[in-house]
Structure 1
Amino acid sequence: MFYYKSSKLIILCIFGCLISTSLPTEAAELPEPDPSEIFAPLLLPDAPSAYRSGDGTPGPMAWKNQTDYRIHVQILPEKHLLNGQEEIRYQNNSPSTLPVLWVQLDQNIYKPDARAAFASQWHFPDHTAGMIIQSVTVSDLKGQKHPVQFQISDTRLQIVLPTALKAHSDIRIQINWSYTIPGSWGGRTAVSQSRNGEIYEIAQFYPRMAVFDDIRGWDTLPYLGDEFYLDYGNIDYDITVPDNFIVAASGVLLNEKDVLSLHEQERLQAARQSEKRVLIRTQSDVENSSHQISVKTKTWHFLMQNTRDVAFVTSAALLWDAAKLDLPPISPALGRPVEARLAMSVYPVEGVGPRAWDRSTEYVKHTIEYFSHDWYMYPWSNAINVGGHGAAMEYPGIVFDGMNDRDAKLFWITTHELGHSWFPMIVGSNERRNGFMDEGFNTFIDSLASLHFNKGEFAPKHDSEYAPYTGKPADDIVKVLMDPVYQPIITPSNQGGKGERHAIPYFKAAYGLELLRSQIIGPERFDRAFRHYIEVWAYRHPTPSDFFRLINSDTGEDLSWFWRGWYLKTWSPDYAIGDVKYTLDGKLKITILNKGWLPLPVDVLAKWTDGTTTLVRIPTEVWSRGNRYTLEIQSSSRISSIIIDPGHEIPDIDRINNIFTDKYQSEN
C-alpha cells in the first residue's frame, strides 16, 4: 500500500514536469459522448491464434527463432576504426521456409544518403561511410564456407541463400566488416574526449539478425533512430584494444587473469563480497596508465547468454568500482556458472565526487535489487553504468549515461536506463513500432523506485529544467490531452510523433498504467497481472494486443473502453455538476454530467454544514446508459459544497464546473 499510495504522485510529476511548457492549442471540440461507441466491443489489431492466446499469453504453438553469435572485434584508436568478424548460428524454429535472411546494419544510419538523414529526428553534424561489408559466407554441412549473394538497402542487408532454410533447421553465416566510429555526435556509438583520453562507447556495432516473427514475417524497418527489435541467443565475443585500456561490457568476463593486474583481480574479488563499492581501478591507476604510449594489445573475452544484444565501453581513462548484488546465484539451468553478481560503474575523473559518480554503484545496486524483488529477477551476472558523453541509452547488462550527471539527475537517469533491463531487454517488445511498451512501462516502474530509494531521497521524480512541479500532477497532463498536435499512444514509433517526443510514449503511457493501478483496477490485482505479463513474455515478443488481453483476463475486467480511449484514441475525462436538489423525504439529488469520451471512475465529495462529509465513487459502467447520472445521498444537514474528483486523481480537462457551493433548491 505504501508504494500504491505514493506512486501516483511520482508518475504524474514525471509526466507533468517533462512535457513542453508551451501553452496547448485549443483542442477540437468533440460531439457529445456516445456510450454505444465508448463501450463498443474492441477489435484489437492482432487476432488470437495458435501462436498467441486470447488471454494474452503465448499460444500452444508459440515459437521464436534463436540467434547465437561468435564475434571478434578490434578497436584501432589511431584511426577511430572498428574491425570485426562474426559467425552467426541462426536457428529457424518457425514453421516457414526462408529463402532469404535479413541482417541489420545500424551503423549505416551515419551515411550521408541514409534514410534517417531525411526522415529521422536525428540530425548528425558529420557522416561516416557506415558499415563496410568485406564478405558474407555460409557454411555447408561439411563446414566449408561459400560466398553468397547479398544486397545492402540502407540499414539492412539481405542474404540470398543458395538453398532455402527449412523450418526447424539452422544455418551458420560469417560476416567480416569494419566502420569508422563517429565522434560524440554519434550518440549510441561514439568516441568522446575526457581529461585522460578518449572514451569509446560501442553499441549496435555488429551485423545483427532481424526478427522473423508470426506477426509480419521478417520485420525489416530501416533504422531511423527508433532503437531496435532483436531475437534472443548467446553471444560469445572478444574485444582487442591497447593494453592500457580497460573494457566494461555486457556479460561475464571470462579471462580476468589475462587482462587484469593482480591488484585488480584482488579488488574485484573483494567487491563480490562487499555491500559498499570497492574501487577496482582508482584515479591514481588511471593517471599512471592513461598517458603511457601503448604498442601492445589485450583481448578481453566476454559471454552473455539468453540476451538480445551486447555493448561495451573501452578506454584508458576510466575508473572502475563495483559492489555485490544481493540476488540469488545465477541458475545453472540456464547454462551459466553459479557466481556472485556485481553492480558496477566506470567513469572518467570528471565524474568523481560524493554527489556524482561516487554514488553510481549505489544507484545501480538499488535499481537491480528493487526491480528484481518487485517484478522479475534480473537474469544476468553484472549491471554496469557508464559515465561517458551522455547518450542516456540502454543495452542488456550495460547503460550509457553522462560523466557530468549529478545528484537527482544521475539517480533518475541510472534508474531509468537500467529499468530498460526489464522493458525491452527481458520482455522483448518491438521498440521500432511500439515504443510505449518499453519507454512507458519502464517510466512507470522506475518512478516507483524514486520513492523507494533511501526513504524518497530523490522523490518525486521530475526535471525542473522543463517546468516546475505544480503540486497537482493530474492537472499537468491535461496540457497534452487538450493539444491536438499529439497522436494516440498506439501510433507506430517509426512514423515519428508530433510535438515533444517524451510526452506520449514515455509519460502518457506511464500515466495510463498508473490510472489502471490506482483508479480502475487497484494495486493488488494490477501488480499481480503485470508480474504475470513479464513472466510469460520474458524473452519473447509481445504486441500491444497481447498486453491488453492479458490485463483484461487476469484482472477480470473488460477494459475495452480504456484501451480505446487512452491508447487508440486521444479521448479524455470531463465531468460536471448539473442540478442539485433536495427531495421532500430529505435526500440530496446530485446530477452528474459526463462530457468526456473517457469516463474514468470518479469520486464525488459532499461537504455538509455540520462538518461531516460523504464520499461516493461513481464507477465507469454508469455511463454506458447515458451521459447523466443522478446520485442520491441521504442528508441530515444542509449542503455546504459538492466537489467532483476532490483529490485530483484523474485528468479532468475542465474543472471549472466540478464544484457546487452553497446553492440548493427544494424539489416540489
Structure 2
Amino acid sequence: MKKFCVFACALIAALSAAFTGGCTKTESHRASYDISCEYSDGLLIGSETVSFYNFTENSFKCLKFNLYGNAFRKGAKYSPISEQYKRRAYYSGESYGETLVENVCSEGKELKFEVCGEDMNILKVELEKELFPEERAAVTIDFKVKLANVISRTGVNAETVNLGNFYPVLCGIENGAFYECVYYSSGDPFFSDCADYNVKFSVDNKFVVAASGETIDKTDSGNKAVYTFSLKNARSFALVISEKFNVITDVTTGVTINYYYYKDASPEKSLKTAVEAIKFFGETYGEYPYKTFSVVETKFIQGGMEYPGLVYVSDELEEAAYREVVVHETAHQWWMAVVGNNETECGFLDEGLAEYSVIVFYDAHKEYGFTREQLVSSCEKTYKNFCTVYDKLYGKKDTSMTRSLKDFSSEYEYVNIAYVKPCLMYDAVRTGMGDAKFFGCLKKYYSTYKFLNAAPQDLSGVFEKAGTGAQEILEAFFAGKEVM
C-alpha cells in the first residue's frame, strides 16, 4: 500500500521549481479457489471451494481462513481505519460490515466450523480426517459479506465498490502452521500463499468490472452480467466495480494493461506510466508473470493498494503524486505479488523495495523530473525529522525494522520505518557494491523466491553470496543499529 508522504518534500520542490514457507512453484502443489459470487446493493453472496495441498512436514486436523470482512463489524476489537482517517473514510457516518459463514462442507458432508481468533477474524474448519503431508483436502464454504459504506480496501463508496479481501482466505503457512492475521489499521495486515483462482462474478450489467485476473468469459442474462476470471499463482484476488468507469488498454508490452478511470483528466498519461513501469521492472528485476494488469482509479484514503494483477490508485491525488503511486503499486507486482512476505511481521520487505523501486524508475526516466539524488536526499530529511520527533517524544527511538504491525505506535512511525528507512538502506548498499552487483542481487532474489514467501534473512542471504559486505549493512538496518 502506498502511503503518500515519503517523497512529499521532493515533489513539492520539483513542482515549485524466519522461515521461508509458502507456495510451491508446481501447480499440483498449490491451493486452488473456485469462487462463485453475486453482488447487489452492498451485499455479496458467495460460495467457494478451496482445495489445500499440505506442503508442510506437519499434519492438520483443521483448516484456517482469514475473514477480513469481519474487521468492519460493530464491536470489532481493532479498527481497520486509523483514528486520523475515520471521518474521511466513513463519509456518510457510522457504518458496519461483516462476513457471515453459513455452511461448510466437504464431498457433500457438513463439517464443523467456528468463527474465532483474536478479533473474530478466523474461520476454523474441522476436517473429517487428519491431513498428512503431501495430501490434499477440499472444503466448500457458503458465505455472505455485508459491505460497510466506507472508503477502504473493502467497502461501498460514492464512486466505486472496492472488493479487496472479500472472501475467506486461507491463512498463510509460517513455521509449519497457519498464521492468523489481525486487521491492524497501520500497514497491510496480510499474509498468504499462492493459489490458482477461478472466479465467477455476477453483477448488474450497469457496472463495469475491473478484476485481478484474465477475463475468460462474459455472458448477459437479463439485467445481469456474469464474468468468469482466471488467475494462476497469485496470493489473492480483487475486484473493483463502478457505473462510471471508462477503460483504455495497452498491449505493447505483451501484457494486457487496462486502466479504469472516471475522474482522471489525463488518462493516457496514467496508462503510459503503468506501461513504462511494467516494462522497466520486467527488465530490471524479472518478467511480469501474469497475462493482465489493471490500474484502477478509485476512492481510497491512502495513496493506493496492491493486489496481484490489480492496483488501486486514489482519485484524490494530484497529477505528480498520482503517477508516483502508479509506479509504486506496479512495483508491488514484483515485491508482494510474486516475492511474498509476511506483511504483518515484516512489512518493510515489500513496501521498502516497492518504494525504492520508485527511485530507480524515476532515475531511469528523467522526463518525470526527479533524480535519485533528489529523492534520496528527501528521504534523509524525512527520516532525520522522524528521529528528532521521536527522541523528543519518548526520549529514545526504536528504528528496528523487523517488528509486527502491532508494535508501531502510529502510521507516522510505520511509514518512516517501512518506506523511508529502507530507501536509505538500499541506496547505501547500492552505492557500496555498484549498480551491476546490486541489481544482479535483486534479480537473484526475485528468481529465487518467485511465488514463495521470503524473510529478511533470505534477502540478506542473497546479498551475502555477492561477497561485498552488503549483508552486514542490511542486517544493521534491520536491527536498528545502522550508522547514518
> Which of 100, 111, 122 lines up with 1:147 in the alignment?
111
User: Which string of whole-angstrom CA distances, capped at 9 and with x for unpartnered residues, describes residues 406-440 of structure 1?
Assistant: 42111101111111111110001111110000100
Letter in 1 for 2:298: G
1:179 aligned residue (134, 139, 145):
145
**Per-residue deviation, 1:119:** 11
SS of aligned partner of 2:98: coil
- 1:16–1:477: 8 Å Cα contact kept in structure 2? no
- From 15, 35, 39, the equivalent of 1:75 is 39
Deviations 1:448-496 (CA, angstroms, capped at 9, x unpaired): 112333x33242489xxxxx98967645533344543443112223422
Distance 1:533 1:469 in 2: 24
Alignment partner of 1:253 out of 215, 218, 230 = 215
Percent identity (aligned): 18
| 1:130 lines up with 2:40 in the alignment | no
2:464 aligned with 1:552, yes or no? yes
Normalised to the residue count of structure 2, the TM-score between the two structures is 0.86
**Structure number, greater radius of gyration:** 1
Please state whether the residue corresponding to 1:456 is helix, strand or coil.
helix
The answer to whether the 8 A contact 1:481-1:570 is kept is: no
Which residue number in structure 1 is paired with residue 14 of structure 2? none
CA contact (8 A) 1:69 1:86 kept: yes
Q: What's the offset of the Cα at 1:560? A: 5.6
Contact 2:379 2:421 in 1 (8 A): no
Is the aligned partner of 1:383 residue 2:348?
Answer: no
What TM-score, normalized to structure 1?
0.63
Find the aligned partners of 1:95 and 1:448 in 2 and give their Cα distance.
40
Q: Does residue 88 of structure 2 align to residue 88 of structure 1? A: no
1:502 has 2:467 as partner:
no
Query: Which residue of 1 is the match for residue 157 of structure 2?
Result: 192
| Whole-Å separation in 2 of the counterparts to 1:493 and 1:118 | 12
Deviation at 1:315, TM superposition (A): 2.1
Superposed displacement of residue 399, structure 1: 0.7
> Would you say 1:562 and 2:473 are equivalent positions?
yes
Aligned-residue RMSD, C-alpha:
3.1
Give yes or no for contact 1:420–1:438 (8 Å, CA) kept in 2: yes
Change (3 A) 1:158 1:14: same
* 2:168 is the counterpart of 1:207: yes
- Superposed, which structure 2 residues align to 1:345-424 within 5 Å? 345-348=259-262, 350-351=263-264, 353=265, 356-391=266-301, 392-424=304-336
Cα distance in 1 between the residues matched to 2:375 and 2:44? 45
Structure 1 residues 527-556: Cα deviation after superposition (integer angstroms, max 9, x where no partner): 111110111001001111111122112x21
Matching residue of 1:450: 362
1:486-531 CA distances to partner (integer Å, 9 max, x unpaired)? Answer: 431122234224444311100101210111001x222211111111
Report deviation, 1:63: 13
Deviations for 1:240-285, whole angstroms, at most 9, x for unmatched residues? 11122221101110115x36xxxxxxxxxxxxxxxxxxxxxxxxxx
Q: Is the 8 A contact 1:64 1:94 kept in 2?
A: no
Matches within 5 A, 1:240-639: 240-256=202-218, 258=219, 296-327=223-254, 341-348=255-262, 350-351=263-264, 353=265, 356-391=266-301, 392-453=304-365, 455-460=366-371, 474=380, 477-482=383-388, 483=391, 484-498=396-410, 499-518=412-431, 520-553=432-465, 555-559=466-470, 561-573=472-484
Contact 1:65 / 1:212 at 8 angstroms: preserved in 2? no
Cα contact 2:57–2:133 (8 A) shared by 1: yes
The SS at the match of 1:488 is coil
Cα pair distance change 1:560/1:305, threshold 3 Å: closer
Contact 1:93 1:168 in 2 (8 A): yes
Matches of 1:473 and 1:99, distance apart in 2: 48
The one-letter code sitting in structure 1 at the alignment partner of 2:141 is I
Instruction: After superposition, give the CA deviation of every residue in 1:350-373 in whole Å (9 maximum; x if it has no partner).
Output: 32x2xx334221111111111001
Q: Distance in 2 between matches of 1:119 and 1:313?
A: 19
The AA in structure 2 aligned to 1:501 is Y
- Give the Cα separation in 1 of the matches to 2:376 and 2:57: 55
**Partner Cα distance (1:473, 1:90) in 2:** 43
Count of aligned residue pairs for this structure pair: 454
Quick check: 2:170–2:192 contact (8 Å CA) kept in 1? Answer: yes
2:179 is matched with which residue?
219
Gapped regions of structure 2 (runs ≥ 5): 12-17
Q: What residue in structure 2 maps to residue 633 of structure 1?
A: none
Alignment correspondent of 2:7: 14
Q: Distance in 2 between matches of 1:212 and 1:117?
A: 25
**Structure 2 CA distance, aligned partners of 1:566 and 1:106?**
32
The alignment status of 1:102 with 2:64, answered yes or no, reads yes
1:300-331 Cα deviation digits (max 9, x unpaired): 1100011111111112211111111424xxxx
AA of the residue aligned to 2:180 = T
- Tell me how far apart the structure 1 counterparts of residues 379 and 181 of structure 2 sit (CA, whole Å): 36
Retained in 2: the 8 A contact 1:233–1:305? yes
Partner SS, residue 7 of structure 2? helix
Distance 2:469 2:362 in 1: 31
Structure 1 residues 475 and 129 mapped into 2: Cα distance closer, same or farther (>3 Å)?
closer
Letter in 2 for 1:440: G
SS at match of 2:363: helix
| Inter-CA distance 69–458: structure 2 relative to 1 (3 Å threshold) | farther
Aligned partner of 1:521: which letter?
A: M
Distance (Å, rounded) in 2 between the aligned partners of 1:472 and 1:360: 24
Relative to 1, partners in 2 of residues 1:222 and 1:184: Cα closer, same or farther, differing over 3 Å?
A: closer
Helix, strand or coil for the counterpart of 2:299?
A: strand
Q: Secondary structure at the match of 1:530?
A: helix
CA–CA distance in structure 1, aligned partners of residues 129 and 166 of structure 2? 28
Q: Which amino acid aligns with 2:130?
A: A
1:314–1:117 distance in 2 versus 1, CA, 3 Å: closer
Give the distance between the partners of 1:435 and 1:471, measured in 2 at CA. Answer: 23
Match of 2:15 in 1: none
Decide which moves more: 492-501 or 386-395.
Answer: 492-501
Determine helix, strand or coil for the equivalent of 1:234: strand
What is the DSSP-based 3-state SS (H/G/I as helix, E as strand, rest coil) of the residue aligned with 2:336?
helix
SS for the counterpart of 1:184 is coil
The letter of the residue matching 1:131 is T
Is the contact made by 2:45 and 2:145 (CA closer than 8 Å) also made in structure 1? yes
Q: Aligned partners of 1:318 and 1:396: how far apart in 2?
A: 20
Whether the aligned pair in 1 keeps the contact of 2:201 and 2:227 (CA below 8 Å) is yes
